[in-house]
Structure 1
Amino acid sequence: MFRQQIARQARLFSTTPIARKSPVETIKDAAKAVDRTISGAAVKGIEKGEEITEAVKQAAPETKGEAKGQANEALGQAKGKANELAGQAKGKTAELQGEANKKL
C-alpha cells in the first residue's frame, strides 16, 4: 500500500521545463532587452563625454599668459589671411579692369 502511494506521487511530479512562456515573462524579457540596449547606449555616451572632456583639458591653456599667447597667435593668423585675401581681391580687380579697358 505504501508503494502505491509513492508511485502515484511520482507520476504527479514533473521535471520537464515549461515549454511556453506566460505573457508576463515575455514582457519581462522584452523589457530586459530594451534596458540592456538603453544601458549600452548610455555607457557609450558617458565614455564619449569623458573623451571629449580630456581633449578639451589638453587643448585648454593652463595659464593666463599661455591663453594670451594663443589668442595673439590666432589674431596674427587671422590678420595674415585677411591681408592675403585683400591682395588677391586687388589683383583680381586690376585684372578685370585691364580686360574691361581692352574691350573699350
Structure 2
Amino acid sequence: MAMKKSPVEAAKDAAKTVDRKVSDKLVDGIEIGQTAAEKAKTAAGLASDKASGKTAEVAGEAKGKAAEIKGEAKGKAEEVKGKL
C-alpha cells in the first residue's frame, strides 16, 4: 500500500526542488561571471601589451628623429665653422 505524503511533506519537497533549481542557476551565473572576468582580464592584458609595443615604437621613432636632428645640427655647425 502506497503512503500519501502530507501537505507539509509535499510543500517541503517542492521547496527543496525549487531551492535546488535556483542554486543550480546561481552556480551557472557565477561561472558565467568568472568566465567573463577572465576574458576581460585577457583582453586588458592584450591591450596593455599592444600599448606597450606602440609606446616602444614611438620612443624608437623619437630617438631616431632626435639623432637625425643632432646630426643635421652638427653638419650645420661644421658648415658654419668652415665659412668662418
Higher helix share: 2
Q: For the pair shown, which has the larger CA radius of gyration, 1 or 2?
A: 1
* Mapping 1:30-69, distance limit 5 Å: 30-61=14-45, 63=48, 66=51, 69=54
* Mapping 1:1-104, distance limit 5 Å: 19-61=3-45, 63=48, 66=51, 69=54
Aligned partners of 1:34, 1:55: CA distance in 2, in Å?
32
Aligned partners of 1:55, 1:67: CA distance in 2, in Å?
20
Q: Structure 1 residues 67 and 39 mapped into 2: Cα distance closer, same or farther (>3 Å)?
A: farther
Aligned partners of 2:20, 2:26: CA distance in 1, in Å?
10
Secondary structure, aligned partner of 2:4: coil
Consecutive unaligned residues of structure 1, counting only runs of 5 or more, are: 1-15, 70-104
* TM-score in terms of structure 2 length: 0.53
Which consecutive segments of 4 or more residues in structure 1 shift more than 3 A? 61-65
- Give per-residue Cα distances to partners, 1:21-54, cap 9 Å, x unaligned: 1100000000000000000000000000000000
- Give per-residue Cα distances to partners, 1:39-78, cap 9 Å, x unaligned: 0000000000000000000000374872794xxxxxxxxx
Aligned residues: 53
Consecutive unaligned residues of structure 2, counting only runs of 5 or more, are: 55-84
Secondary structure, aligned partner of 2:45: coil
* TM-score in terms of structure 1 length: 0.44
Query: Pairwise CA RMSD of aligned residues?
Result: 2.5
